[in-house]
Amino acid sequence: MRILVTGGAGFIGSHLVDKLMANVHQMKRMRYISGQSQEWIGHPRFELIRHDVTEPLLVEVDCIYHLACPASPIFYKYNPVKLPFSQTRLQLRQNVIGTLNMLGLAKWVGVRILLTSTSEVYGDPLEHPQKEEYWGNVNPIGVRSCYDEGKRVAETLMFDYHRQHDIEIQIARIFNTYGPRMNIDDGHVVSYFVAQALR
């Protein structure tokens, strides 16, 4: 099986790549986009593709895991309007254009796509616990809104492609994840608590 993982060098993506590579008997080739990890380079079933998800990509794959997204709350607040490297622009481009490109690829090759999303799509929820049907209570103009809104748009695009093009989709709303390779200074609540406990 030829599996494409975007964001494969990120915190969650690198663990997914490791898990998939550990089960190489199920795979012909592994691809992932971007990143710094050198661990699998040279493996006969691994192919590193250095590619910006905001640009179209045409490759033959059997499955897509779309994890590419800068997800650090610290960076959402840092200089949000300075171009060309603003986090707002990067968030929206990767979440919206990147998702459109991966959906286009999924449509072109006729494969299933999984998008990693976040509990931030619920915003500051008025309902606890949140059901998947809950639409949320998001502040669209807040300091961190570029992340929330980018993921909400990405989820909308996934469902639009499913309805219009019958693409098989999956969305995983992952949040408060921690473990090895976690950036302890990225501004997430769990990493903040760990950092405070270690200091």
For the question of residue 147 being annotated catalytic, the response is yes
3-state SS class at 80: coil
**How many whole angstroms separate alpha carbon 7 and alpha carbon 152?**
18
Is residue 35 within 8 A of residue 9, CB to CB? The reply is: yes
Contacts of 5 (CB under 8 A, 6+ apart): 13, 16, 17, 20, 30, 31, 32, 33, 65, 67
Contacts of 65 (CB under 8 A, 6+ apart): 3, 4, 5, 6, 13, 16, 113, 114, 116
How are beta strands 63-66 and 112-117 bridged, if at all?
Answer: parallel
**How many whole angstroms separate alpha carbon 124 and alpha carbon 106?**
32
Q: Tell me which of 32, 65, 122, 147 is the catalytic residue.
A: 147
**How many whole angstroms separate alpha carbon 91 and alpha carbon 100?**
14
Catalytic residues: 147
